[in-house]
Structure formats: structure tokens, C-alpha cells
A and B are shown apart, each in its own frame.
Chain A
Amino acid sequence: MNEGSRRLAAAWSALASRWLEVRSHWQDAVALEFESHCWNELQQQTQDLLRAAERLDEILSQALRSKE
């Protein structure tokens, strides 16, 4: 995993733990709207991006290692 991916993963981890703390304290219609329209999409897209970056980084590393 490259430095940028590590930074994104760390930023996500910090936000996700904040959300976990908040979720049990916040139960109303706005919370549901926030979760369905923002949080779920944010979670999915962050994970998709991290996976894609990791795959590309892995292939590039293999390619650069196998020059001989």
C-alpha cells in the first residue's frame, strides 16, 4: 500500500469510528437520511477506491520487481 492509500485509510478509519460513536446517539429522520444518502455511499466508494488503488499498486510493484 502506498503512502497516499495509507493516509486515505487512516482518514477513513478516524471518520468511521466517529460515526460509530454517533450512530447510537442519533436516531431521527435526518439520521436515516444522512446514513442512506451519504454514509453508505461514502463507505462504499472509499472502500472501492482503496481496493482499486491497492490492486494497481500491487501490479505495479510486481512489474517493477520482475524486470530481470
Chain B
Amino acid sequence: MYGWTGNILRVNLSTKTHKKEPFSEEFAHKWVGGRGFACKILYDEVMPGTDPLGPDNKLIVALGPIAGIPAPNTGKCVVAAKSPLTGFYGDGNLGTRVSEHLRKAGYDAMIVEGKADRPTLIYVEDDKVEFLPADSIWGQGSYAANDYIYGKYGAGVGVLNIGQGGENLNRYAIIRSLEGRAGGRPGMGAVMGSKLLKAIVVKGTHPIPQADPAAMKKLGFGDLKKVHEIDKETGWSRQSTTGVLQFCNEVAGLPVRNFRKTHHPEAWHIDGERLNNARVATYGCPNCTMRCGITIHDDQGHESELDYENIGLLGSNLEIFDLPQVGCLNYLCDEYGLDTMSAGCVLSFYADAIDQGAVAGDFKFGDAMRAKQLLRMAALREGPIGNLLADGTLRMARAFGNNSLAYAMQVKGLEVAAYNCKFIPGQALAYGVSPIGAHHREAWIITFEIKHTTRESYGPEKAAKVIELQRIRGGMFEFLVACRFPWIELGWSLDNYPKYFNTITSLNWTLDDMWKTADRIYGMIKLNYLREFPNATREDDYPPAVWFDPANADTDGPIAGKVLERDKYDSLLQHYYDQRGYDNRGIPTKATLAKLGLEAEALAAEKFAALT
């Protein structure tokens, strides 16, 4: 078997033991890696009802056949667990040297079980696994912890660590790497914290098994150079993802004031042009030649690496139009190890709820100083307010009552990313049917919707586009594992990816094979959801109610007077279900599950909930 090391590393923090477990070729071909491995392992090993913050939850670090091998842009890994934020399967990806080192150490994935009896650092070097005390860095931020690890093991090792947010079980705590990368939005950092696991450090020294290493080396390095040339030619990385802010502001898709407004005349203060002018450094992931991490100095002099989601949700959404202040909020999230997107939505929801009279409080939109204090309180769970903010918008809305759930900007408990879908029906669908909650990673169709369809349409073409993008973005890139940016931002052909895969594995897959695997993985995650929530309904796939509320319509600009229409959204949702072969609850039918090769998993699900 080429392309896979053929082994999973299982470590148990309770017993301080580890095991190298081989997996079969059939398993490799069916689930490929990354998200595929993670969702299958968690389905088989973490039973419904398991406390996400208890010792029975498992943290998965998973890689795919092209991960870590030089090619565009393969320096990523998937982290997954049962989510403490959403209550079912959650995952994320992040750039890290772990992708290369874990594979070179001889593993395609790592399963972390149990709970340590004291703060612990797991050190993996090839066959050696050590459980080391991490008391000296427990309580420290992610940057300081990273510095300590680099000081001890050298800067070239692979690192996954958490900040104080994860230690204190903030439900949207993420995992950090490489002093700037972060991933695992649905609380993967809190799962690490619940296990008293401060960091995983990996060093691998063996070659990754490949069918034709010489051919792959030539292909991979050649393509990295070509991607770099395209980036230079198009100028994409002058602003990287942050050019999107002005686009969203132009088409009334920017989150402003907890998504109440869709555009703002002051948005230019925090746009990509201003960011590029303030740039002091640029960072990127391993195996990347189109580095997107534009870094500025925040108002305290810290380096802060910003992308669009950060400035959209910590900036315009909070009506903070001061770049160094937004930079500081972003820096604090990184230091504490919090998801910037959920943190931005939590703060904006809190300000909105106070505005609406749903709760008493002293936080107002535009108040950067108080926002910084609240972030710290949320990360450390300081006092009743910090404790409340640490639980995310869904639980906050339940605590506030007063119809505040309508404007808690989340789906299935995961906060929405920085695209305001007040009148962008297809993107609202993309949030609704994202398998892990409102993540933009799975599908982003705003340009397609505005350029190639009428914005008012709720037709089947939008559902089809969401599925097409889910297969690519949430599917192929997440199981191979690689970054989607060369494709989505520079137009790097999708055909390159089966080429890499086949050169590495000696298989002969086409893009259609990729899409079949992607559909299987989506079906697997939906079964996981059903098993945790046997009373699942199609309402679970609806975006926040405020986007349907005529009282929330813009009073000026491109979509003045318009909001989403509930009946029409429901018909769009039905188009999606029909095209996917899902039932009226959004769960794959038995026939669909059989087609996806998920018969055994369907039987396991039926012990907990009925299938149709």
C-alpha cells in the first residue's frame, strides 16, 4: 500500500500507554484520510451521549495521502472530536508541521483517549511516545507555550497546542500551531483541555511511503513554483482573503452590528488595502507558496495575523473600524486559543441582546476596550459573564430567553462565518446544510449566486452548486488533506489533485471517485448527527431566524426592504435533500446509505433512531 503509512497511533492519557495499530487497504480506500478517517473512527468509538468534555471523548489528528508531501498546499492536518459546542461530530483543519512529521513518524492518524492526571505534553518521535509534565506551560498563552516547545525541541518540530481558552473549557477554543495557525472551530481546543493535554509535539524521521517518490518530487515542487507564479501574476496575496471585505460591503453581505446591517460606510478603515499598507510580516503554512497571513502590529505592539473572517467578525460585526484595535482582539483570540469567528459572534450577540433588552449589561457595539476584557473573561471563564460567554451563542440565547435565539447567529450551535446572508439564499443554505454547523469551509457560493443566478432565486441550481462545492471543499480537500486556496483563489485546476493522489498511491482515481468518497463522508457525519439527535428535523437546517424577519430588512443599499423568505428557503432546502437523496429531515435514506457503502453504519444508527 503506497501513500499511506498504514498505521494509526493510539495514545491513552489515563494509562499513559500507546499502541501502533495497522489499518487495512479497504479502510484506506474507503475513507482515504483526514476528515474521512476522523468521522469513521469517532462514529465507531465515541457512542452517542458521551460527554464531549469527559475522558470518553476522543481527539483525532488525521492526515491524508498527500498531506505533508511537497505539493500545493499540503501542510495541513484535520483535528476532530465530538464537539462541546454542537454536541456531535466537529472538526477543523490547520496548517502545521505535524502533517509532515506524523507521517514521517509512521502514522496517518493519531487517536488521543482518556484524561491525564496532570497537565501533559505528548511527545512523539517515530516509535517513541512520551507523556511529559506540562505544568510549567499550563496557564500560559499559545504563543508562550509554542516558544517553550521550540526552545526545548527545536523550531522544526510539529506542534499542536492550546491556550488558556482550551484549558478552561471554553466551548469554541481552538487548537493552535506554528504561532499563527488555528483550527478546530467547534471546540477542539476544549477537548484537549478537558484531557489536561497542553500540547502534542511530533518529530518523524522516515520517508513517507510513495509509489513514485521521484516523479512526485518533480511534480510537487514544479507545481509549487507554478502556484507561486500565478499568485505573483494575479497579485492575490497583496490582500489575500481580506479583499473580500470590500466585495461583501459592496454587495450587502458584510456582517455589521451582529448581522443587523449588511454594509457600512466606515468599513474601508479595516479593508484589505489598509491591511496591506500596515503589513509588517507575512506568514504561511508548510508547503505553501501563496502565503496568506498578513500580519500587522496591534495597538499594543503585538504581531497579529489577520484574515477576512477575523476582521469581518471582530471588526465590522462589532462596529469596530480601527485596524490596530481589531488586530488586538484577533491577537487575544490567538493567544487565548479561541476561535475568532465564534468569539466575534459571541460578543456581537451579547451587545445585541443588551440593546434589545434581553439581558442587562454594559457592553456596546464599538467598544473595543470592553471587548478585550470580555474576551479575557470568556477565555478564563472569569465570573458569571465570562462563564456565559464561554459557552457560545446558542447556550447564551437559552439563558437570555426573550426571543434572543432569533438573533443568535449560529446553526446547530456553531456560529456563522463572516458572510451576511440576509438576502443571499444560496449561501444561507450552505450554512444550513453544512454538516458541522455554520461553517463557510463547506461551500461558499456568493459570487456564483450574484454573478450567474438571480439573487432572488431559490431554485435547484443553487442547491446543486452547494453540493458541488461541498464535495470539493468539505470533501476532497479535507480527506486528501490539502488547502483549497490554490484552487479557489488562483484557479489551480482540480484535475491536479487526482494526479497527486495517483502518483503517490499508484491508484487510478478520477474526480468522480473523489466525489463518491466525499458523499460517503457527508453521509457518515449526518448519521453521527442523527445518533446524537434522534429527533432531528429540517428546522435544524435553517439559518438564524433574524434573516427571515422583515423588521430586520435593510433600509438602504442594494437589498433595501428584502430578507429571506421562509417558504422559499424551505423549497430550496428540499431541492438540496432531493439531490442528495436525503429524507425530509435532512438524513440520508436507507437507499442512499446503501449506495454510499454505509450499510453497517446505518444498522448501527438504527439502534438509536429510525431511518427512512
Chain A bound to chain B: no
